[in-house]
A and B are shown apart, each in its own frame.
Chain A
Amino acid sequence: MRLRFSRKMLGIPYAVFLLFFVIIPMLVILFYAFTDKEMHLSFENFIRFFSDPTKLSTIVYSLVIGLITTVVCLVIAYPVAYILARSKMKKKFVILLLFVTPMWINFVLRVNAIRELLNWMGLLGEANYFNTIFGMVYDFLPFMILPLYTTLLKIDESLYEASADLGGNAFTAFTRITLPLSMPGIASGITMVFLPSMTNYVVSDMLGNSKVTIIGKFIYEYFGTNWHMGSMVALVLLIVVLLSTWLTGGLKEENNARGTTL
């Protein structure tokens, strides 16, 4: 039989990647989470996780830190993206570039720079939670601006003209046109900021002097000593994130979501 090349075969590399780096690792995590040291099926980790106030508190704290970071990012990014997308400026990509450039500089370097800045402001070691959120917002802002900018850019100018023709003021135009049509951008921005800000413990270690513990750090520490508990924490986090993605996903229409992710 001759092997015929079909378009579907282009997907094979990705399928292999998916299998080895997504599906198998997930199964391994699942396997470790529900086994004990002798590799027997066990719900001990599950029970211990949900009966330990520290672990629950830490995951709740991470949720709150992630939530605040996401909201602050959104509040800062939306006006910027809106102004940039609607302005008639010729060189506006330069301004956009300025917002995105920090992403091209090494992450650890940036966190170190923020650390020096906070030290100079006298905040280092004084306001650990504020510092952590400050660092997270700084680091993840571009991930919020870009998807917002791309969706806002796509909104047809004629919609605003129609709105003005029908007697709508600026506020109505915003609530009836801009906001609903930018929902996909908001949704992808949220997904891209929320998860990393719950797990990026480099920021909390460096800016919160390791006194702020987020759930990512727990996972890291448990993988040094007890893989089973570490997998359980990772699994719980995975479920929290899936849930939040599913919820924000409900805000966007499939056909509008194109081209909003990076």
Chain B
Amino acid sequence: MKKRISAMLLAAVACLPTISLFTGCAQKGETVLRVYSWEEYIDEGGEDSYDGTADAPDMVSRFEAWYEETYGSPIRVEYSTFGTNEDMYNQLKLGNEYDLLCPSEYMIMKLAAEGYLQPYSEAFFDETNPDNHYIRNVSPYIHAMFESNRINKADPESTETWSDYAAGYMWGVTGFTYNPAYVNEEDLRSLGWDVMTAEAYQNKVTTKDNVRDSYFVALAILYKEEIAALDPTSPDYGKQLAAIMNRTDEETIAAAEEVMQAMDENIFGYETDTGKADIVSGRIWLNFAWSGDAVYAMDLAEAGEDEDGNETDSTLLNFFIPEECANLWFDGWVMPKGANTQAAEAFVNFLSMPENAVRNMYYIGYSGVIAGDEVFDYVCETYAVDPEEYESEEEYVVYDLSYFFGGSDAPQGSYTFYADRDQAERRQLHAHYPPYEVTRRCAVMDYYGEEANENINELWSRIKGETLEPWAIAVICVGVALIVGAVLLVKFGGKIDFFRLPPKKGYTRVKQEDFKKYPNDKQNPV
């Protein structure tokens, strides 16, 4: 109960802007679907959309129209957005109710471990139903990953997988955008994640201002040799890799702290969104980036525009995924307990229609989890080239995306197209749909569990916080105490006889009480 009251107080105080004042005034017979997702993470229509016309409707209104047509009853979507997974978690914890959320993989695992989630219905996975667009169109690669990973690692008994609770939305990898004018690609390949601590790149590389991404880099540097010793042909390769990249024991944290300290001393800084502008302007050479952001930055730099649409010089940026191991991340749709599962599942299915998946991908620039021929056509439309236009065979490659569009049992080469070699090996295509060899070397970062999380957050505060020797703290404290003492002396010293100079010879000091005896000035003996 105590918890409830404090949560209510906080909800009243801290979250006023996010509480919709209009909830509860739904018309009779109208269903309300409350969706809570990332900012700018869905097609918002208009001229910037795939359709390109000013009156192109946004995805949410498309859904509302489609739902009414299909199910014969009106629906209204209350779509709100968050900026970080933690913000979303706090809102949920405060008791705000939603039907559908779109957090990242580790947050999905945390929510599952804490029992917040409602599983998808069995009917949702019935491939024979033509309305089940998600299961019919999801990439076999993503689906296999969702089927084979346990969602609740805190409970060793649990056999539930990601698929039980989550439907994928967007996915990608991490790497570096770099400016080839300053960075030698060969050098970069030989260094891998070590560029973070390499002296040659001192003050020229940035990392993300969040603990999970930086910790992952530290582990990749720390266990470089162990990872290299793994056998990539072994069927357990992925599991072994993931086990190494999710270590959170005390020894690992202590060793990672040293690496992160070295990174802290070497890097230009931590950023969340200044990196794009800084690399375009040449201020930094390498920027740790999520693949979707990297595509966006490369597009902007190439077009010679900054984020506000102003013209700048056109710069060529490349994308590099370190060979040791990269982080594979995804965001997925999950339903909190008490959600309207029918409407929520309908929303996910609607977004999973290939034409809608293409619209969302086009608008936000990330790669969706939906495969299907329309999506493949879209990829070809964007990246396929005509080999006859090239003078040399060196300049183009056959790009094979069968792993993503066809799955492991699809015949090799069933989803291939000619692509520019630069695009395939180091530019937008490389980031958008990484080659199979790259994805094999990727590991998903799990939810570490309550205790390990706490330890890693403390590690982060030690890296980010300032460090002073204990004697320095003591000296400064004494200094502050002296200043405080001096000010107090000025303030009150006059009232305490001890601090006052003795009166001159022949004078006596009038006491405070004497004044009180003669309230009228004229009677005052002084």
Contacts and interface: CB of A to CB of B under 8 A. Distances in A.
B268 A28 contact: no
Interface in A123-172: 124-126, 128
Interface centre among B10, B461, B470, B487 (most CB of A within 10 A): B461
Nearest to A21: B13
B462 A54 contact: yes
Given A24-B9, A224-B84, A225-B457, A213 B269 contact: no
B86 A224 contact: yes
A69 to B, nearest CB: 16
A31 B283 CA distance: 45
Contacts of A251: 487, 490-491
A254 B480 CA distance: 26
A226 interface: yes
A53 interface: yes
A50 to B, nearest CB: 11
A61 B283 contact: no
Interface in A100-118: none
Interface in A182-224: 205-206, 208-211, 213, 217-218, 221, 223-224
B465 interface: yes
B473 interface: yes
B465 A54 contact: yes
A213 to B, nearest CB: 5
Contacts of A21: 13
Interface string A247-258: 100110000000
B476 interface: yes
Contacts of B3: 39
B274 A206 contact: yes
A34 to B, nearest CB: 12
Contact of B268 (A55, A209, A218, A243): A209
B268 A213 contact: no
Contacts of A124: 283
B6 interface: yes
Interface string B195-212: 000000001001001000
Question: Contact size class for A?
Answer: 35 or more
A227 B271 CA distance: 23
B21 interface: no
B6 A28 contact: yes
B269 A218 contact: no
B473 A60 contact: yes
B466 interface: yes
B487 A213 contact: no
A24 B13 contact: yes
A74 interface: no
Contacts of B487: 247, 250-251
Main secondary structure of the interface of A (DSSP, over half): helix
A32 to B, nearest CB: 7
Interface string A1-43: 0000000000000000000110011001001100000010000
A209 to B, nearest CB: 2
A54 B488 CA distance: 29
Contact of B480 (A63, A126, A217): A63
A210 B270 contact: yes
Nearest to A217: B464
A125 to B, nearest CB: 5
Contact of A57 (B90, B209, B283, B468): B468
B123 interface: no
A63 B477 CA distance: 11
A206 B283 CA distance: 14
B58 to A, nearest CB: 27
B473 A209 contact: no
Given A28-B10, A226-B454, A250-B490, A205 B209 contact: yes
A211 B498 CA distance: 48
B501 interface: no
Contact of B470 (A31, A53, A55): A53
B470 A125 contact: no
Contacts of B464: 210, 213, 217, 221
B283 A55 contact: no
A75 interface: no
Given A24-B13, A247-B487, 13 more contacts: A28-B10, A31-B6, A53-B473, A56-B468, A57-B465, A60-B466, A119-B281, A209-B271, A210-B464, A211-B267, A225-B457, A227-B90, A247-B491
Q: Which 8 A/B pairs are nearest by Cβ-Cβ distance?
A: A209-B269, A210-B270, A224-B86, A250-B491, A57-B468, A54-B465, A61-B466, A58-B465
Interface of B: 2-3, 6, 9-10, 12-14, 84, 86-87, 90, 203, 206, 209, 264, 267-271, 274, 281, 283, 453-454, 457, 460-462, 464-468, 470, 472-473, 476-477, 480, 484, 487-488, 490-491
